[in-house]
Structure 1
């Protein structure tokens, strides 16, 4: 590890002036009053950028309640002369900073206002805000700026590359037809296969963090963000599966349902958010066991498809596992990063 404090290695601007663009005369930080407008902006952009899924309003609203985010400083909104919100850009410092400080860049431009340079200045602002975040970390830990982009959003990737980010990993969306037979798998000896229950939330968090400890780009979840996910409106405990040894959760498959995505995908579906096995229990068939239960529960609930995303280069062999379970690749997305 580099013994030099991250704050000494990152050259961050002291001040962060508002971006300037002739077609967006007003730029300002976000407030909770902007949630609906930001949601509408992402909905319009999503029809072009990722037509098979939507960004829920609740996900945007979380940015105004989570303690590690200051929307007034971490997000900038751009308004046209008519007062319409035309772009949003943000830089969010991940709350877990024990081993690495990671800033995620997010944002979009309304499809009607693209290829005019608005996205370029908006992302440049977010990158400078990311540098401010990293420059505030006195610990001698690595720093990282990351941005996710769908394969079809080549303009966004090109802008990110111009500010110094490069593609570090590809992820693949995979879909399974639940009309196809779902193999049943019994719980291995000494374990119990049960649905997720809210009282197990922190045990499942511990299992999740152990399972993903060395996964590329993954950082530990903290209680605030975890609670926003598991206590939110989309997680389906009845579809989510746990494998338990005694009181210890050793494998998990957490699934959610957002009915707004059904029209986009064409059929009722569930999204599998997380699949993980704790590190000292791998190689025992635990992952396909929890996945099979979730697929069967989703089928029995009347859903027609299951969707997940996978790191195409994962050393766990996840891609091959999902293929063997009947998932087929559809879209791809990339993660662009810069390390400090």
Structure 2
């Protein structure tokens, strides 16, 4: 049996009315039901589903025994959830979670957040002890602007909003723009033979993006295997002379979200252009090709999410292609005190 790693103290069952433990494979349906039930009330633009939870439990970078938390009522129904994720050499941890709306306003969200903070401090300490770079612990959590109860909780616990993002839509009822590739470039389908080259191109393209970290093989495999991924709607731009990846667009479609939101969206999960190919219209060509594929598949809108202060001019690119902001989210951050030996 593998040695069980040390873990942060769990929330108090007496104070919260819930029994707490890490998530396990046997919890998948219960866990997914909690998230979906919360989403049905709070209506976020996106939420984690069954396939995402499997990836969380399969992670070797973030051991689910120390990075996940579920709270169960007396009948064994999951009512609250929290987790953190962090790369071993990363400068931040990211937190996610939810509380069943019927169990909110009882201090449970505060208890989950306190656990996330403690686990973040422990994770930074463990990574430093293992020889990775030592950083001041910091936890980041992203919320949608509409969820004022989440913002209020974070503010009370000393978080501050440090970055804003726009969800953008482009109606596909309008004509798809024609943006042919520049001479010497060609479209290729996203196939397994290109996965690694696209990963490396992504790491280069996003090196100057705020908050971005290198995608390792595990996280990229999860991206490629994401249940909502549509590789047939994705595309890769390749330099015809060298075979190098110049840019890429990774698309997805979530039928559950379509039913919830009342429209079908082809979603651009990732769009990147390597530095040496910027300024040649590659981004516009990728977006136009994505729109064409989305429209051919019967989608109502093309959608994406963009950092409002993106240094590569992505916001201007999307506005120029007919996208408009429809919602906003923000990233909150708290600097934590490191553990003392």
TM over 0.5: yes
Query: For the Cα contact (< 8 Å) 1:53–1:264, is it kept in 2?
Result: no
Paired with 2:137 and 2:274, the residues of 1 have a C-alpha distance of 26
Q: How does 1:170-181 map to 2 (within 5 A)?
A: 170-181=164-175
How many matched pairs?
324
Q: Residue 218 of structure 1 corresponds to which residue in structure 2? A: 212
SS state at 2:57 partner: coil
Matches of 2:15 and 2:137 in 1, distance apart?
34
Note if contact 1:312-1:319 (Cα within 8 Å) is conserved in structure 2. Answer: yes
1:195 aligns with 2:189: yes
Q: Does 1:158 align with 2:152?
A: yes
Residues 249, 287 of structure 2: 8 Å contact kept: yes
- Summarize the alignment of residues 28-43 of structure 1 with structure 2, pairs less than 5 Å apart: 28-43=21-36
Residues 1:213 and 1:295: Cα distance change in structure 2 (over 3 Å): same
Is 2:46 the partner of 1:50? no
Please tell me whether the aligned partners of residues 208 and 311 of structure 2 are also in contact (alpha carbons under 8 angstroms).
Answer: no
TM-score, normalization by structure 1: 0.90
**Is the counterpart of residue 102 in structure 1 residue 98 in structure 2?**
no
- How big is the shift at 1:51? 4.2
| Cα deviation code 1:17-44 (max 9, x no counterpart) | 2211544231111111111111111111
Q: 1:68 maps to which residue?
A: 61
2:334 is the alignment partner of 1:327: no
1:18 paired residue number: 10
Q: Please, which of 113, 118, 123 is the counterpart of residue 128 of structure 1? A: 118
TM-score by length of 2: 0.90
1:10 corresponds in structure 2 to: none
Runs of 4+ in 1 over 4 A off after TM superposition: none
2:142 match: secondary structure: strand
Residue 104 of structure 1 contacts residue 146 of structure 1 at CA under 8 Å; is this kept in 2? yes
Is 1:318–2:314 an aligned residue pair?
A: yes
Is the CA contact (8 Å cut-off) linking 1:94 and 1:104 kept in structure 2? no
**CA contact under 8 A between 2:44 and 2:144: conserved in structure 1?**
no
Residues 173-211 of structure 1: CA distance to partner in whole angstroms, max 9, x if unpaired?
A: 111111111112211111112232221000000111000
Q: For residue 232 of structure 1, what is the aligned residue in structure 2?
A: 226
Q: How far is the alpha carbon of 1:46 from its aligned partner?
A: 1.3
